[in-house]
Chains A and B, each alone.
Chain A
Amino acid sequence: MDKDINIKVKVWRQNGPKDKGHFETYPLQNISQGSSFLEMLDILNEQLINEGKEPVVFDHDCREGICGMCSLYINGHPHGPDQGITTCQLHMRRFDDGDTITVEPWRSAGFPIIKDLMVDRSAFDKIIQAGGYVSVNTGGVPDANAIPIPRDDAEMAMDAAACIGCGACVAACKNGSAMLFVSAKVSQLALLPQGRVERKQRAKAMLGKMDELGFGNCTNTGACEVECPKNISITNIARLNREFLKAKFAD
């Protein structure tokens, strides 16, 4: 049964990218366990505004687990203690009366902090811009079923395409590596005939951009796969390695 709980929230406060940053602990009374984690933060912000303090800045948008905007490193886990969900799908019933919940931003050299819990994830957009697309000559539109695709390939491509680019993989990785994200984006195209044409150039361009933006080297700890809200498999990373090495050996 859901009940109302009294909790403390230990939140990272940082005024701007250059600011030092520190933790502040706020007590919250009578939080329904039926409310979502972000609703709890909304209540906290209401409380802060009423006290004349500045509200906590955090990213969120769709609040149904598809947009990839929400982040937050909660009690040692990106997207909190639940598996296979985003922060916005996390509910307060995962916490107990008297808990102190530690909320931190993603921490990685590739994701500089903008303010409080909000980080700059535009590095992911830059990686996509480097090659995460298919160049289409929009002449006559081909019939959708004109290109046969094996079922397993279609399924694997779809599983890879489930990546919402939230950055939890980078946040979870002790190496600050973005390999799970990049590998998912390379895989969803490399597995399909339409994407195969540009596969070599894509793998090199996207990986080159990832390295350039200061993400780390993957050491296959598998932390990303555990914390990924969309359960993207690290076998995609093996595929990216394969794609990249093939492209380099072909040069």
Chain B
Amino acid sequence: MSWLIKSSIGRKFVQSISGLFLILFLLFHVSMNLVLLFSYETYDFLANDILGANWWAIVGTGVIAAGFVIHIIWGIILTIQNRRARGKERYASASKTQTTWSSQNMLVLGLFLLFFLIAHFMQFWYQMQFKELFMIEGARHDSAELVAEVFSNIWVVIFYVLAFVALWFHLTHGFWSALHSAGLNNGVWMKRIKVLGNVVATVICLGFAIVAIAVHLGYSNLLG
């Protein structure tokens, strides 16, 4: 299995599979968030009884965390190797080749998302699962209330929406690129995959953004 590190396509394959896995996680995450629009009670039930500090939720968290760590580490390794492959001298007449902005800035977008992720973890995950797991005082079980508290601050909402936009750019390149790297592309499917990628990125971005904004404006818990 050393070819997953030693060969360029192996490295890209790892980046591709971990990225696709994280997209699946995001789709799950956004589905759960949408529950906040309708019922805080159901959300609390999902967060505490279905997930919470149950063993399967802990294992799941571990697997997802591993997905993130692998994706980030491989991303950084790939970028360092690629900068080296570019050679010492840079072009004086900067590249005028027409490419998508996101494809040139995946690392920057990724690092911004990592920064967001750390803030997001401190605001939510640390307050809920982590505190409960390590018996720290003040673990929160009223998850929906915690969300409402955090999103009552307009600046937090703006920061989150910015992160969702960055995520949209990251995914519009990431989705089709992941399938391409896994060899699942050809002349016919190229356009379809790109459209599908844009749809997935838009659903994820809008889903997250709508919940954050709706909770801030009080248009949540509509059936509660």
- A residues sitting closer than 8 Å to B (CB atoms) are 10, 12, 21, 23, 73-77, 81, 102, 104, 107-111, 172, 174-177, 179, 207-208, 210-211, 214-223, 226-227, 233-235, 237-246, 248
A219 touches B82 (CB 8 A): yes
Additional pairs, 14, CB under 8 Å, beyond known A109-B84, A220-B181, A235-B190 = A76-B96, A102-B93, A107-B87, A107-B91, A110-B85, A172-B95, A172-B97, A175-B85, A177-B82, A207-B7, A220-B176, A241-B12, A242-B183, A248-B7
In the complex formed, the residue of A with least CB distance to B89 is A107
Interface of chain A, main secondary structure: mixed
Q: Are A23 and B82 in contact (CB-based, < 8 A)? A: no
Contacts of B183 in A (CB 8 A): 238-239, 241-246
Interfacial chain B residues near A234, Cβ < 8 Å: 180
Stretch at the interface among B50-58, B99-107, B146-154, B213-221: B99-107
Docked-complex contact A102 and B82, CB < 8 angstroms: no
10 residue pairs, one from A and one from B, having the closest CB atoms = A242-B183, A216-B85, A76-B96, A176-B85, A175-B82, A238-B185, A241-B183, A216-B82, A102-B93, A221-B103
Contact (A104, B93) CB under 8 Å given A218-B12, A226-B98, A238-B180: yes
Q: Is the CB of B8 within 8 A of A211?
A: yes
Interface residues of B, count at CB 8 A: 44
* Chain B contacts to A: CB under 8 angstroms: 3, 6-13, 78, 81-82, 84-100, 103-104, 106, 173, 176-177, 180-187, 190
Which of B9, B88, B103 is in CB contact (< 8 Å) with A222? B103
The residue on A at minimum CB distance from B107 is: A219
Chain B residue nearest to A110 (CB atoms) is: B85
Would B12 and A217 count as touching, CB distance under 8 A? Answer: yes
- Nearest chain B CB to A114's CB is how many angstroms away? 14
A151, chain B: closest CB distance, angstroms = 14
A-B contact pairs, 18 of them (CB 8 A): A75-B93, A76-B93, A81-B96, A174-B104, A176-B85, A207-B9, A210-B8, A216-B81, A217-B11, A218-B8, A220-B103, A220-B176, A222-B103, A226-B98, A226-B99, A235-B185, A241-B181, A248-B10
Could you tell me if A241 and B85 are in contact, using CB atoms closer than 8 angstroms? no
**Which A residues touch B98, using CB under 8 A?**
226
For residue B102, which residue of chain A has the nearest CB? Answer: A221
How many whole Å from A154's CB to the nearest CB in chain B? Answer: 15
Residues of A within 8 A of B78 (CB): 217, 219
Contact B91 A76 (CB under 8 A): yes
**Known pairs A73-B91, A226-B99; A220 contacts B173 (CB<8 A):** yes
Q: Are A76 and B94 in contact (CB under 8 A)?
A: yes
CB-CB under 8 A from B182, the residues of chain A are 241, 245
